[in-house]
């Protein structure tokens, strides 16, 4: 039996190769209903974020006005025009979480990470964002790190939660 380890090569992919992959996605999706949002999701997955040059590329390839593409990107909070950290922290500031200390969580994370909301740590490890209700109001305050939901978050436990991502 082989013990060889499969190495991920994603980080080594060149800019041109990423654009090539995005062009393939556009070819596949462009005639489908609601394709723009799907293409943007896939493009963000491939490129990491959606800078203006990439939005122009998508608009041109899909035969859409640039304003339409940029309008969708700016409307939805899950699209980012700036590079994101390896892990995205989203603190809920919906009503229940806000009332039960969501803001304290944001303050504590700003202090621990040394970034403002919308920012990314210097080591590229975390991006800090806020969002509205994530459906865990009964166990507020809540936050997400990537796809994992943390409920009844105690600001004093944040440091140990973050350590799991190093
Ligand atoms: S308000 Fe935060 S989960 Fe609903």
Count H helices, E strands: the chain?
7, 4
> Is residue 83 scored above 90 in pLDDT?
no
Residue 109 Cβ < 6 Å to ligand 1? no
Domain ranges within the chain, ordered by starting residue: 11-75, 87-163
Q: Which two tokens stand for residue 32?
A: 């489908």
- Torsion angle of alpha carbons 166, 134, 81, 118, nearest 10°? -60
What's the CA-to-centroid distance between 92 and ligand 1, angstroms? 6
> Residue 107 phi/psi, 5° resolution?
-60, -45
∠ CA 44-50-52 to the nearest 5 degrees?
A: 160
Q: Give the mean pLDDT of the chain.
A: 91
pLDDT tens digits, one per residue of 7-18:
555 567 899 999
> Is residue 156 scored above 90 in pLDDT?
yes
What's the CA-to-centroid distance between 93 and ligand 1, angstroms? 7
Q: What is the pTM assigned to this prediction? A: 0.69
* 87-163 maps to CATH 3.40.30.10: yes
Residue 3: the pLDDT is 45
Q: Is the four-CA dihedral 137, 139, 141, 146 of positive or negative sign?
A: negative
Higher pLDDT, 11 or 139: 139
Pocket test for ligand 1, best of 97, 101, 153 (most atoms within 8 A of CB): 97
Residue 1: the pLDDT is 44
Q: Quote the DSSP letter at residue 2.
A: -
């Amino acid at each position: 039996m082989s013990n060889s380890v499969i190495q991920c090569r994603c980080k080594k992919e060149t800019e041109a190769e990423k654009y090539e992959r995005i062009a393939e996605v556009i070819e596949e999706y462009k005639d489908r209903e609601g394709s723009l949002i799907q293409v943007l999701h896939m493009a963000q997955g491939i490129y990491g974020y959606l800078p203006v040059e990439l939005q122009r590329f998508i608009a041109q390839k899909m035969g859409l006005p640039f304003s339409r593409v940029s309008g969708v990107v700016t409307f939805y909070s899950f699209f980012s025009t700036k590079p994101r950290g390896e892990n995205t922290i989203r603190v809920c500031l919906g009503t229940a979480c806000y009332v039960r200390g969501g803001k304290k969580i944001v303050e504590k994370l700003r202090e621990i990470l040394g970034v403002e909301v919308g920012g990314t740590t210097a080591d590229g490890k975390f991006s800090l964002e806020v969002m509205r209700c994530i459906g865990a109001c009964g166990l507020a305050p809540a936050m997400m790190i990537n796809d994992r939901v943390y409920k009844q978050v105690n600001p004093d436990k944040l440091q140990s939660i973050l350590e799991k991502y190093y």
